[in-house]
Structure 1
Amino acid sequence: MATFPISGVHTWLWLPPLVAFCISFFTSMVGISGAFLLLPFQMSVLNYTAPSVSATNLVYNLAATPGGVYRYLREGRMVWPLVWVIVAGTLPGIVIGFYLRVMYLPDPRDFKLFAGLVLLYIGYRVLAEFLPWHEKSETEATRPQPVTAIRMLQFSLARASFSFGEQVFSFSVPAMFLLALIVGVIGGTYGIGGGAIIAPFCVALFGLPVHAIAGAAIAGTLFTSVAGVALYSLLPAPAGMVTQPDWALGLLFGLGGFAGMYFGARCQKRVPQRILKLLLGLLLMLLAGYYIFAFFA
């Protein structure tokens, strides 16, 4: 076993990359960074609850997400205008999220409640289509699509559209920017990067297909995580509070995450998205319940 001096984590060297590989293999298929599940593992299993755990999680994103980005690029499934809107919106959100984390949520108990509420809402959005009161009519985003390359049709400050398979999809650029800003605040506070959890919102609120937007969401996570790591490393924090990342632990997680994201992106088109979303949503709800009930226990 090894001890990481910055975080104080004591664990086997093989455990972080193995856990990161398993998590990122499945989450990359739906365009979500494995960081949002990796944080509960660090806090509950490794007992790493200091504010710097958020920064360490962002280091994982830096090392892990290039694997998924490369694979989606290779297959021509990257909506670049969506990437840039995500980055533009989430960057200021991450700055706000940093100060929320170090000024108002430094206590591990309070932060776990916040994390539980975030996971609860994401889980609800992912599982919405499986709920009995959800409208069952088939939409363009839920109808099975041939997994082909993406072709941009229009991009302006007002609207963007692209073709995927046999359908045309579009979204409002100002509305997507506002969503990215809000998600950036959450991601900056939670330590998962701005674009790490935007994919479920793109699917649920804008009706965009998972196969088409997964690459853009992961690419947005990569770019905004760079800013997030810089914020936690360079900006001043309250006296006595350590916010700098544990680079060794983060890169060890990232090693497994890189392989997991690459193979997850490669296998994505062979796995039914309804199955992936159902399993992911149930796991999110389980984790959310654990943290919320622990706060009130």
Structure 2
Amino acid sequence: MLKVTFPVSGVKTYLFLPPLVSFVLAYFGAMAGVTGAFLLLPFQMSVLGYTSPSVSATNLLYNLFTIPPIVISYARDGRLNWPLALCISAGSSLGIGGGYLLRIHYLEDPARFKPFAGLVLLYLAFRLGKDLLSGKKRKTPPQKAVIKYEELSLKQARFSFAGQKHRFSPITVFIVSFAVGIVGGAYGIGGGAIMAPYCLSVLKLPVYTVAGATLLGTLVSSIAGVLFYSFGPAAKGILTRPDFLLGALFGLGGMLGGFLGARSQKFIPERPIKAGLFLVVLLIALKYLLVLINIF
């Protein structure tokens, strides 16, 4: 089988492997409002051996390829929550610059970065698991159900979906998104992988109204992140710019997988989507944290 070496990252792998992995991650992730980038990063670090700070930038670059067709699909179906998307986009894009500085000055060493990544993933697993244990089961909405806005202000946004009324505080979402942007900028995930569990478990919004919004927010913050990592000031001798060839290869698989995942979401009940995310995130979080205390 054909192996290639990517000049920026130094990664040597089979040509088919990056798009295959990203296709699977994006297909299942798109249903829950994430791209799978929070799982793609451990794959790059642990399997491909890509551990320099530029791996975060490459992860963000993957989002730029993967997200647009997913967002377009949700918008066409009337399931893109624009007010929620704007709040997430504004907050996370502002916070991502702080995450970039955190990554290059304090988390450049993989020995420091891995526990940080593990704690982020463990938090995601906790929020999803708590929601699965205590949350009420929702019926799969009609395939033609769309979001209908009832009130939009800085204090409160109310909308209905499939006959059920929901609300959230735009100001609160903005503040949380800003903090998440800092974490996402350091981790290289754009923040959607944290905002999606927050919207599902804390705000109690249905996944069908959250996925498009968190992905659009991830797209905007990922653009900011790629710019920071490509042109921002870095410590001398530290590689921060993304591996564009590797990122594009991941992106091609993500584009196809994400689009198909978005088209499939309306046919899948909400609980299996959450359960799948919970199991994968928990296992990877434990792997990172247990390895670092020499259990493995």
TM over 0.5: yes
Q: Do 1:195 and 1:224's aligned partners in 2 also have CA atoms closer than 8 Å?
A: no
CA–CA distance in structure 2, aligned partners of residues 194 and 277 of structure 1: 17
Structure 1 unpaired stretches of 5+: none
What amino acid is the match of 2:264?
C
CA–CA distance in structure 1, aligned partners of residues 204 and 132 of structure 2: 16
Displacement after TM superposition at 1:285 (Å):
0.7
Question: 2:119 is matched with which residue: 110, 117, 120?
Answer: 117
- Residue 142 (structure 2) aligns with: 146
What amino acid is the match of 2:141?
Q
Question: 1:283 is matched with which residue: 280, 287, 292?
Answer: 280
- Residue 72 (structure 1) aligns with: 74
Compute the RMSD of aligned alpha carbons: 1.3
Question: 1:252 is matched with which residue: 234, 249, 252?
Answer: 249
Q: Do 1:110 and 1:295's aligned partners in 2 also have CA atoms closer than 8 Å?
A: no
- Residue 17 (structure 1) aligns with: 19
Q: Do 1:20 and 1:256's aligned partners in 2 also have CA atoms closer than 8 Å?
A: yes
Taking structure 2 as the reference length, the TM-score comes to: 0.95
Question: 1:6 is matched with which residue: 8, 15, 20?
Answer: 8
1:11-47 deviations in Å (ceiling 9; x for gaps):
1111100000001100110111210010000000000
Sequence identity (%): 50
- Residue 48 (structure 2) aligns with: 46
Q: Which segments of structure 1 move beyond 2 Å, counting only runs of 4 or more?
A: 142-147, 194-197
What amino acid is the match of 1:199?
A
CA–CA distance in structure 1, aligned partners of residues 289 and 8 of structure 2: 28
Displacement after TM superposition at 1:144 (Å):
4.4
Alignment of 1:1-297 (within 5 A): 1-131=3-133, 134=134, 138=136, 142=138, 144-147=140-143, 148-297=145-294
What amino acid is the match of 1:277?
K
CA–CA distance in structure 1, aligned partners of residues 189 and 200 of structure 2: 19
Q: Do 1:64 and 1:261's aligned partners in 2 also have CA atoms closer than 8 Å?
A: yes
1:47-86 deviations in Å (ceiling 9; x for gaps):
0000000000000000011121111111111111111100
CA–CA distance in structure 2, aligned partners of residues 202 and 30 of structure 1: 11
Larger deviation, residues 278-287 vs 248-257: 278-287
What's the secondary structure of 1:168's corresponding residue? strand
CA–CA distance in structure 1, aligned partners of residues 292 and 84 of structure 2: 37
CA–CA distance in structure 2, aligned partners of residues 7 and 279 of structure 1: 31
Structure 2 unpaired stretches of 5+: none
Displacement after TM superposition at 1:129 (Å):
3.0
What amino acid is the match of 2:129?
L
Taking structure 1 as the reference length, the TM-score comes to: 0.95
